[in-house]
Amino acid sequence: MTTAHFFRPNNRSAGDLRPFSLTPDYVGTAEGSVLIAVGETRVLCNATVEQGVPGWMRGQGKGWVTAEYGMLPRATLTRSARESERGKVGGRTHEIQRLIGRSLRAGVDMQALGERTVILDCDVLQADGGTRCAAITGACAALWLALGRMHKAGAIKQNPMRQLIAAVSVGIVEGARLLDLAYEEDAQAEVDANVVMSADGGLIEVQATAERKAFPRAGLNEMLDLAEGGLRHLFAAQRQMLAASGVDVPVDLTGPVADTPQQA
């Protein structure tokens, strides 16, 4: 694996995550709320549980998990107009919120959820690369908080959560494989990938794009290995946050464990 031969922000090595943290109950009115910070990226993830499901699912006894994603006007260096002002959701926003929903549904037993809908609102307060990955990681923690507390209160018979889900970016910059790209690295990447994984090591989605020229299949395997190493730290941080919040994470769902979460 090629190592970085240039300066990375925060003096990180090629396989290091940016400093990160998960703050539970950031919004007191939501059933589950987590503020995730990854480097300078900040995403507020709120889980809302509502009775009922979309019309096409009624009568099946199963639930639904969906997501909405958006960036605040000053999440970036220059102000961007609110999408509500434009009159429609942009293509990038639509694609990201579909990704978040798909990723989180992979970790939920819809039958155990019953005819309920969980809406995950992921709002980017500040963007410095990796917002979709941060949204998935934070939304999973918020979802588990909401459903774990409902189960603890007896509102549902069993916790519908089957697996922790997290995501991280990885890429090739000047020939080096790098984990968790900040914006300035992502902007010059030859290959940019986002990896979504469950805590048992299963791949949920891999988005990999060559920006300038094709890259070898072996390079993808190296990036997946790099991503998995970082994801172990994210899973450990999710478990630590949930435990501190009094929400149980079953032993058989904990997956690979990192010795020391790289939290801020």
pLDDT over 80 (residue 10) = no
pLDDT over 70 (residue 4) = no
What confidence score (pLDDT) does residue 2 get?
Answer: 47
Rounded CA-CA distance 31/44 in Å is 14
Strand pairing class (116-126; 165-173):
unpaired
Hey, what are 20's tokens?
Answer: 């990160």
Model's pTM, two decimal places? 0.91
Mean pLDDT of the chain: 90
pLDDT over 50 (residue 254) = no
CB atoms within 10 A of CB 25: 13
What confidence score (pLDDT) does residue 263 get?
Answer: 53
Band (250; pLDDT cuts 50, 70, 90)? low
Give residue 198's Cα distance to chain centre: 11
Rounded CA-CA distance 243/130 in Å is 26
Handedness of CA 188, 191, 197, 201 (dihedral sign): negative
Average pLDDT of 40-55?
95
Rounded CA-CA distance 159/248 in Å is 9
pLDDT over 80 (residue 87) = no
Hey, what are 118's tokens?
Answer: 């969980």
Q: In 3D, which of 33, 26, 57 has the Cα closest to residue 47? A: 33
- Asked whether the beta carbons of 43 and 96 are under 8 A apart, the reply is no
Residue whose entry in the numeric block shows the structure tokens 């992979």: 106
Give residue 154's Cα distance to chain centre: 28
pLDDT over 70 (residue 6) = no
CB atoms within 10 A of CB 172: 23
Give residue 170's Cα distance to chain centre: 14
What confidence score (pLDDT) does residue 12 get?
Answer: 87
pLDDT over 70 (residue 259) = no
What confidence score (pLDDT) does residue 251 get?
Answer: 54
Hey, what are 157's tokens?
Answer: 């018979």
Average pLDDT of 9-37?
93
The C-alpha torsion from 44 through 95 and 148 to 125, rounded to 10°, is 0
Rounded CA-CA distance 170/112 in Å is 34
Average pLDDT of 54-69?
93
Hey, what are 6's tokens?
Answer: 């240039």
Radius of gyration of the chain (CA): 18
pLDDT over 50 (residue 256) = no
pLDDT over 80 (residue 85) = no
CA atoms within 13 A on the CB side of 23: 11
- Asked whether the beta carbons of 199 and 164 are under 8 A apart, the reply is yes
Hey, what are 70's tokens?
Answer: 């958006």
In this predicted model, which residue has the larger pLDDT, 7 or 45? 45
